Structure 1
Amino acid sequence: MTYRFCFGASGSGKSTCLHQEIIQRSMRSMESGDNTQYLVLVPEQYSMQTQKEMIMEHPDHAIMNIDVLSLGRLSHRIFEETAPDRRTVLTDIGKSLLLRRVASSCAGEMQVLGGSLHRTGMIAEVKSVLSEFMQYGIGTEEIGRLIDCAAKGGQKALRARLADLQVLYQAFEQAREDRMITSEETLDLFARAIPRSELIRRSVIVFDGFTGFTPIQYRVLAALMACAREVIFSITLADDGGLRPEELMDGRSAGSREALFYLSRKTVRDIVRIGLEKGIPHGRDLYMDRPVPRRFETNPALAHLEKNLYRYGRRPYEGNRAESVSLTEAADPHKEIRQVCIRMKELSREKGYCWRDFAVICPDLETYGDLLAAEAVRYDIPVYIDKTKAIYHNPLTEAIRSVLQISMRGFDYESVFRYLRSGLSSLTAEEVDLLENYCLEKGIRGRRKWSLAFDDATEPLRVRFLKEIEPVTGPLQREYGSEPAEQDKVPDEAAGRRRVLTAGERTEQLYAFLTGRGTEALMKERAERFKEAGDYAREKEYSQIYRGIIELLDEIYELIGEEKISAADYLELLETGLDEIRLGTLPQKVDRVLCGDVERTRFGEVKVLFFVGINDGNIPRSTGGGGLISDLDREFLESSGLELAPSPREQMYIQRLYLYLNMTKATDMLCLSYARVSMDGQSIRPSILISSLQEMFPRLRARYPEEQDPILQITGRGDAESLLAEQLRRYADGEKEDPQQLDAFLTLYGYCSRMDPETAQNLIRLTRTAFFRYKPEYLQPRQAAALYGGIVEGSVTRLETAAQCYLRQYLQYGLGLRRRKEFRIDFADTGTVLHESLNTFSHRLK
């Protein structure tokens, strides 16, 4: 059992070198009959890419005794080999549910938090802090040390909050007993199971792509180092003015925290300490210290970037940078993404790049990811957005929330028709419209009015609707024209006259509703429809959502099933759980553009990298936040000697490392861009990163491609049709007076008309629309008589309506269309009511 490191800058070939070494050793093991297993451990989101790379690099294009795994997948394999732990693993929503249950029992023991645990979001805050404690190996005893540290420093408020968290932590641990474990504890169990694993004892393990580890993960590393035949760590570390790798081998210091590679040095120091404590031999380290990293041997500009980014004393680049590093300024994020798509189309056409040769980094993936997805459709570019999808606004979740609100709010109009229009009801859209018109006209609101019969046309719809939601709301239906049966009289829960149900009973009701509606089959049917239409992202969403909701209901039933809970609290609890469910997707094409964020996404080597949204606030991203343990509290608690999550200052330094790793992924070109105005119209400044890059590349100046003639920016059929749709109307209105513009427009029009039959048909439709002009046609006498009768009766209002809009006059007085009748008193009705009241009063006086 030994361990060693492979050091090198980004792009120096660490992964490739280790892959080749493992492949060669695995082939020799196969030839000699050795049972050595080779495990390559990478971050979860990078496992498929690494596996593909190793298969492509292997001479036989097969990896029989090599496995590419994440730490999580390796833990499952070890648990299968050793005795698996049968306890339930608590998810984030499971922790929230259990905390909710224990909070009420220990509220009286807390000094500060006891009175605020019922507030919205408070349980989530507590769960976040406790999860951090578990992740960093901090138990109740360690919290006691933090309390003592706060007390010695005179931090009374912090001490009180920590004391309350200790009470909640103890209650949480007691409630779990031996029935449940947290996801953080699985790593601790993994570490304890490793010595019993035969697989680990005959394995050579490689860690590649990791930037650091948490204390609980270091326990796993210590067990692997002690049991495996050899453990190799790939570490990104280059010259930044800090300690050299050989200076870290005493396990004492990691150098200055301000250094770019401090996180890498800290990882090396911690691993070396483990080796020294356990007496594990340290093998010969591998240094990939070539003057120019392999990735940039033919690209001196990008080599200069790697050498000087976030370094002190950076030197300016004197060479030609035009083809390697570019900078674009756009008016807003939408136009910025449009220029990215135009540039990708140009490069793929002119230099023969495949779509997989491009990648897009977005600091703000929520904004830029959606924009890129929309523009990619317009420019016919296959794109995969690397982010998980929330299900909060899915039709199924909308139906669940609205059906619970129907009972809670006593059959109010909004909740009822929110459910009916969610798409889960058996009523068709026309039937819902008919029922809605009747309810508005008759003022149907509340449980009592829904228990009374409707008219002949809408009564069957009422019966079907009430039958659907009966598992949740209770029985309301009765025979037409009869009074409700005594057992059907269900008092309104809001009035406080109904027995408060337990969480388990409410979950059973909701489950009965879902099975009664055949929700699982309905979601599968819609998933198939999306699959046939080629919408694979939504197909994955609809095929996974039912299972996710059922798992959530199972957790609620198991953890707090016996606890009494009001309808409002149950709905809030369920909404919190639905909000935390995330559905992941996989790329559906090999040849596609990968778009991800700075920290989560693991990019492989690409030829052209687009880095968008380089604005102040995105780079560096604001890391400050509140919470139960504030940023100042974290900095103060550093003196306790216990490691917590990184403080805001440390997060800023970590961000720099992620930026370095991502910006050095390109082999040919790095395309940078920023916007002048945000999506909400606010002026925004370029990031300080832009000025740093301009110091490294003095001739780097922002380009403004959006100011070019739009016709010159056309790259394909999609954007050509969009531009023609805009310019056809201007041409039809006579605005194309400039001969040069007119000639360019007509040339584009003629080219598109001969492009292909589909484009030609679309162009004909656009032309007809652009040149359409309204020509009034008089009604024939027979038509006029059918609409208005033989005698046309007019009024001042009708004449004014005709003068304002003939179409409105035709619809209102010809076709006889009327607004929907609503059961309410308008301002116009107020005078009528007062007049009738005075009239009645005067008659009674007589």
Structure 2
Amino acid sequence: MLEIITGRAGSGKTAYVLGQIYKELMARPLGPAIILLLPEHMTYKVERQLAAMMEKQGRGYMRCQIYGFKRFAYHVLQETGGALEQGITDMGRQLLLKSILDKRYSQLKVFGRASRQRGFANVLSSIINELKGYGISPELLQEAGDSIDDSRLANKLSDLAMLYGDYNDAMAGRYNDGKDIMSILAERLPMSKMVAGAEIWLDGFLFFNPLELKVLEGLFTYGANVHVTFNMDDMASPQGQWANQEASGLFNRAYISRNRLLQLAQRLNISVEYRHFAETKRFANPVLKALEAGFDKRRMEPVAGAADISLVEAATCRLEVEAAAADIIRLVKEKGYKWRDIGILIRDEDSYGDILNFVFKDYEIPFFSDKKRQCANHPVAELIRSAIAITEGWSYDDMFCCIKTGFFRLTAQQTDLLENYCLEFNLKGKKVWRRQEPWEYFSRYSIDEENEQADSKQMLRAATADQLRRQVAEPLGRLQDALKAAADTRAMIQAIYQFMTDIEVPKILQEWSDQAEQSGALDVAREHQQVWNDIMEMLDQLVEVSGDTKMSIKELRQLLEEGLSSLEMALVPPGLDYVNIASFDQNALDNIKAVYILGANVGIMPGKSVENTVLSDADRMHINRNNVIELSVSGEEASFNENYLIYKAFTQAREYMWVSYSLSSPAGDAMTGSEIVTKIKSLLPENSIKTIPLDWISKFSEDDQLKMLANKRQTLSSLAIALRELRDAGELSELWQRVYNYLLEDEDVKGMVGLIRRGLFMNPRLDKLPRDIAKELYAARGVLRGSVTKFERYNNCPFQFFAQYGLNLKERKISRFSSPELGTLLHAVLKEYGERLNKEGRRWGDIAPAERDALCHEILHRLAPRLNNGVLYNSKQMEAQLRRLESTAKFALKRLAEFDHVSKFHPQLFERSFGGNHGPEDTLELVYKLHENNRLELVGQIDRIDVNEQGSHFMIMDYKTGYAAINLVDVYYGLKLQLLTYLLVANELMKRGQDTPMMPAGMLYFFLKRPVLTMKNHSHDPEFIRAALDEELKMPGWVLLDKDIAEQIDNTLYTDNKSRFLKISYKKDLSFSLPSLKMLKSQEDFAVLMGYIELILQETGEQIMDGRIDIQPVRKDSQTPCKYCKYHPLCGFDARLEGYDYRRISGSDGEIMEAITNKVKGEIQAQSENKSDGKEE
């Protein structure tokens, strides 16, 4: 007998099924078997329900068995001896299909490119499952392809038939999958003693595919009675047929399934009985009852009892979830609900899954989500992926992906040390990581020293890095050796397993699980416990499907990546009392007290249909028209299915329902409520929608605000919003004052309250450091020492200086070639070149081009290997960079030689150091007294000092690889002090041993670069090109306002009335041109400027020692030091925010020079008065 049990949602079908089973168990505990078949995701809940019913009577049960179809099949096969072949999992099937795709790649007509894409094996597995479910063989599929006139579709079916046939051949006699098991189950049912005479119940199914119908045929034949429930109204009975299938609407798929069962019963000559539940008994709430009854209507009349249904719109998904969380806590606290009485249903898991996770943890709501976790995101999966990749090349990225999984027992500090060491010295590749000799790399402080030795600190760092390297590389090396020696895939998998056990992966996972459990993260603890078993099962499946195959390491890696990317974990709930979060299509919340439905937006409810990527709906309709095979049209089925899922979701709650939607997507796009929201609105009184705006604190009543507060942790977030409104509006309500004071007295959170307050009311004008702290940071022994650049940095931005030199924050060193390294090497080449010529008594302009180039090449290639541990020899790209650098060096030497030809100033000193310990006799110190017995000491190097042939004047030259210029505004504000400081040092130096002191003739920047010229005309005229280069490379700086000295510096000024190397020219009357005057300074100007440099350096030193660390960068026109500042994330400077501002500077040359002169004169006068006062005393 077949009993068809129908009724709409909430009418009592499941209660009837369980009630009948309960009665039978109570009456005959040891009678024939009772089998209850359910969708897989419902079995756990129904088992608990039946057990609870029996427990009330102090009874258990053995007679009733509750299964999903798959578990039922395995049980029958075990009973009847049909489970002899190895079962293959979904993962094993995908791995098998991936290997088939790789072998058939060149023969595929349509799917060739797709077969290389990750995830295609999963798509192929789905279509093969569907074909098996519909009883379509590879031969039938090929026949269908042969009968189709569309060549592309015919080729597509031909590809599918070939792959499907290969799959069946591989499975034959060795494995069975889920669909095979269903076929075997149908064959084995006649042999099952459990099924013979059993009372069989099926509940919760919407649709049966042909294979399941074949099983049902066996149950009809060999079972005693079969009872099947359908979620349908009474129009499904023989007395009330629908006019056609489409008219069935919501119940379309149930209608089709019921008809197929009736046809099957008629064919088997089995009697049919009908039982219909017309009254909906679930809903205690009249609105919920009305919603179910009119779900397929466009509009419904308002119903009393709206207090038990909430319709909410929120500004964002986050606010929507937070409002739902607060309402859940209200139900628990005020209505006495248990957590298990409440369920969450979501259609858009991508948008809401993570938010629910974060918010529920904040609100301390216990919850469980039945969404499967991706194993690919777990560290074990990354360990396998990166470890296999390492054996192919030992790249930096793969190495540290592997190390950072945490399985090599390196601490975070040890990992950072090892990574920084590898980056600094460009350590990568098998030879480096597996070398027997220890790592003994160290940084050079100078490329001039040929035999520089490492200090003790560097040696300790190298030894530590080497020990950590061996700890990682040795097990990875053994894995590489084992993989290369492996005869087949089985041996390769054994090598991977051995590697993981060698580094104690199972033990570490257990440790992580214990730690997570102790911290209350039970779901994370279970992930760590389960992932090992799931991955072992995947590896076992790989051995089963490809164990005897020989494959390369690359093929193995690709196969493992495919498997890991689709491997999922299904976790068991951590307890009994929790809020259940479910998707619409994995929904086991039937008859729960309260349901929260989130994301009721257009485009989400109903969701958009996504076509199968292998066979589109158009393909399927074309195939069906040929009448060889028949496939379902997925888009049409998806539409019916989607409407049914929504109906089912909105009819689950028996007492209370919350429906909400967001007004904006996570990406910020505007969104609206779906059609279902409109239906619910029609049931409720006017203005029943509750809105949660971004500024809900100012918009909500005090009662509503209190409802949003759940616990201390969450209230802190709300307090931040309230305090932000206080900052903007200037007042804080009495409620939030009480909240603030309450949290401030709580020891657990008062620190966070202070942090929130400081963050919101932060003053970017930082307090000064105490002088003793400033001294400890910058001048521990009373000496503030540094280069000119260091003090320029302070004047550009005090906070930047504090971050770099006070906090000593540094970017990690990376072996690369950038502008600083370029400058270092070129400076060293020019220094050695010049010193050699001076030693030999030769002038730069006298050296033949060939000798000059050869000497440059020899010096460069002797010094280059010392730079950044040979970075210029690390790759072909770097070697090309070295060739370009050599070209630049030769070009610079050529230009300097040409300058030497026309100048009476010739280089005398190179890289002349001052300050610090650079020799007992000729060391020049530049030291200034500061307050409290502190002093400022400048250290540095002058690139080059030239002296004229008469020995009366000197000038300094500073090499620059980039742009450089000097102006009075920058000097006045302390932003460009370098050239004048060098001039000041050289002025003191050149006085030594001289009866008549030398006088400064100028200070110049020389560019170490080869400009790129854009030539519109005369592009092949050498003279035009030379003139353009001269103009581009003219040396900026300042020169003495003296025609004779200017012409000594560059004689072309005398011969051509225009300097080739300086930005100076004559007018017709042989006086300096007006533009030239910007580059000319009188002897008095130089004296004043050098005096000013001493003052500004002292002032800068005093400000540093006074503890000033203002976040106030300089701004000159549009230029600021913030553009390339690496400390910006620390200071957070933003000129658009209140309290932040630049120190703006400007002024004409005349105004600035006058201010500098007055300041120097004022200081001279003050010193004179102090001396006079001292004498009088």
Fold similarity call, TM over 0.5: yes
State the shift of 1:424 in Å: 0.9
For residue 322 of structure 1, what is the aligned residue in structure 2?
Answer: 306
1:560 is aligned, of 542, 546, 567, to: 546
Deviations 1:453-481 (CA, angstroms, capped at 9, x unpaired): 31251332332222121122339xxxxxx
For residue 75 of structure 2, what is the aligned residue in structure 1?
Answer: 77
Q: Distance in 2 between matches of 1:703 and 1:103?
A: 54
For residue 442 of structure 1, what is the aligned residue in structure 2?
Answer: 425
For residue 47 of structure 2, what is the aligned residue in structure 1?
Answer: 51
Query: What is the SS of the residue equivalent to 1:591?
Result: coil
Deviations 1:6-64 (CA, angstroms, capped at 9, x unpaired): 1111101111122222222232224xxx6222222222221122122223334515342
For residue 735 of structure 2, what is the aligned residue in structure 1?
Answer: 744
Deviations 1:759-780 (CA, angstroms, capped at 9, x unpaired): 6676577678878885434333
Deviations 1:249-308 (CA, angstroms, capped at 9, x unpaired): xxx9972266211111111111111112222222x3211113xx1113x43322221111
Which range moves more in the overlay, 645-654 or 332-341? Answer: 645-654
For residue 480 of structure 1, what is the aligned residue in structure 2?
Answer: none
Query: What is the SS of the residue equivalent to 1:142?
Result: helix
For residue 62 of structure 1, what is the aligned residue in structure 2?
Answer: 59
For residue 278 of structure 2, what is the aligned residue in structure 1?
Answer: 289
* 1:675 equivalenced with 2:677 (yes/no): no
State the shift of 1:648 in Å: 0.7
Does structure 1 retain, via aligned residues, the 8 Å contact 2:145–2:158? yes
* 1:779 equivalenced with 2:774 (yes/no): no
State the shift of 1:500 in Å: 10
State the shift of 1:192 in Å: 1.4
* 1:219 equivalenced with 2:214 (yes/no): yes
* 1:274 equivalenced with 2:264 (yes/no): yes
1:127 is aligned, of 125, 128, 142, to: 125
State the shift of 1:322 in Å: 2.4
Does structure 2 retain, via aligned residues, the 8 Å contact 1:301–1:317? no
Amino acid at match of 1:634: R
Q: Cα 1:122–1:837, aligned 2, differ >3 Å: closer, same or farther? A: farther
For residue 558 of structure 2, what is the aligned residue in structure 1?
Answer: 572
Q: Distance in 2 between matches of 1:231 and 1:690?
A: 40
Does structure 2 retain, via aligned residues, the 8 Å contact 1:102–1:175? no
Q: What is the correspondence of 1:669-708 to structure 2 with a 5 Å cutoff?
A: 669-695=656-682, 699=686, 701-706=688-693, 707=696, 708=699
Does structure 1 retain, via aligned residues, the 8 Å contact 2:98–2:559? no
State the shift of 1:125 in Å: 3.2
Q: What is the correspondence of 1:122-161 to structure 2 with a 5 Å cutoff?
A: 122-147=120-145, 151=148, 154-161=149-156
Does structure 2 retain, via aligned residues, the 8 Å contact 1:8–1:237? yes
Q: Distance in 2 between matches of 1:649 and 1:303?
A: 29
State the shift of 1:730 in Å: 6.7
Does structure 2 retain, via aligned residues, the 8 Å contact 1:94–1:559? yes
Q: Cα 1:3–1:681, aligned 2, differ >3 Å: closer, same or farther? A: same
Deviations 1:537-558 (CA, angstroms, capped at 9, x unpaired): 1111111111221222222223
Does structure 1 retain, via aligned residues, the 8 Å contact 2:775–2:782? no
Q: Distance in 2 between matches of 1:766 and 1:161?
A: 61
For residue 720 of structure 1, what is the aligned residue in structure 2?
Answer: 715
State the shift of 1:631 in Å: 2.1
Does structure 2 retain, via aligned residues, the 8 Å contact 1:260–1:657? yes
State the shift of 1:806 in Å: 4.6
* 1:40 equivalenced with 2:40 (yes/no): no
Number of aligned residue pairs: 801
1:454 is aligned, of 439, 449, 467, to: 439
Does structure 2 retain, via aligned residues, the 8 Å contact 1:243–1:254? no
Which range moves more in the overlay, 322-331 or 511-520? Answer: 322-331
Does structure 1 retain, via aligned residues, the 8 Å contact 2:76–2:185? yes
Q: What is the correspondence of 1:144-183 to structure 2 with a 5 Å cutoff?
A: 144-147=142-145, 151=148, 154-183=149-178
Which range moves more in the overlay, 623-632 or 532-541? Answer: 623-632
Q: Distance in 1 between matches of 2:466 and 2:228?
A: 72
* 1:397 equivalenced with 2:389 (yes/no): no
State the shift of 1:711 in Å: 4.1
Larger Rg: 2
* 1:654 equivalenced with 2:641 (yes/no): yes
Structure 1 unaligned residues grouped into runs of 5+? 476-492
2:473 is aligned, of 463, 466, 472, to: 466
Q: Cα 1:325–1:817, aligned 2, differ >3 Å: closer, same or farther? A: closer
For residue 842 of structure 1, what is the aligned residue in structure 2?
Answer: 852
State the shift of 1:843 in Å: 7.2
State the shift of 1:793 in Å: 3.2
Does structure 2 retain, via aligned residues, the 8 Å contact 1:109–1:167? no
* 1:585 equivalenced with 2:571 (yes/no): yes
Q: Distance in 2 between matches of 1:524 and 1:176?
A: 36
For residue 490 of structure 1, what is the aligned residue in structure 2?
Answer: none
Q: Cα 1:315–1:415, aligned 2, differ >3 Å: closer, same or farther? A: closer
Does structure 2 retain, via aligned residues, the 8 Å contact 1:253–1:269? no
Q: Distance in 2 between matches of 1:717 and 1:426?
A: 36
Q: Distance in 2 between matches of 1:662 and 1:785?
A: 65
- TM-score, normalised to structure 1, is 0.87
Q: Cα 1:760–1:464, aligned 2, differ >3 Å: closer, same or farther? A: closer
Amino acid at match of 2:22: I
Structure 2 unaligned residues grouped into runs of 5+? 441-461, 834-850, 857-1177
For residue 415 of structure 1, what is the aligned residue in structure 2?
Answer: 398
Q: What is the correspondence of 1:233-632 to structure 2 with a 5 Å cutoff?
A: 233-238=228-233, 244-246=237-239, 255-256=245-246, 259-282=249-272, 284-290=273-279, 293-296=280-283, 298-311=284-297, 316-408=300-392, 410-450=393-433, 451=435, 453-455=438-440, 457=463, 458-474=465-481, 502-632=488-618
Q: Cα 1:660–1:800, aligned 2, differ >3 Å: closer, same or farther? A: same
Deviations 1:779-835 (CA, angstroms, capped at 9, x unpaired): 339954984544433444322433455565346445766543332210232344456
Aligned-pair Cα RMSD in Å: 3.1
Does structure 1 retain, via aligned residues, the 8 Å contact 2:611–2:634? no
Q: Distance in 2 between matches of 1:79 and 1:353?
A: 44
Query: What is the SS of the residue equivalent to 1:792?
Result: strand
Amino acid at match of 1:289: A
State the shift of 1:362 in Å: 0.5
Q: Cα 1:139–1:426, aligned 2, differ >3 Å: closer, same or farther? A: same
Q: Distance in 2 between matches of 1:375 and 1:257?
A: 43
Deviations 1:77-98 (CA, angstroms, capped at 9, x unpaired): 2222211422122223322332
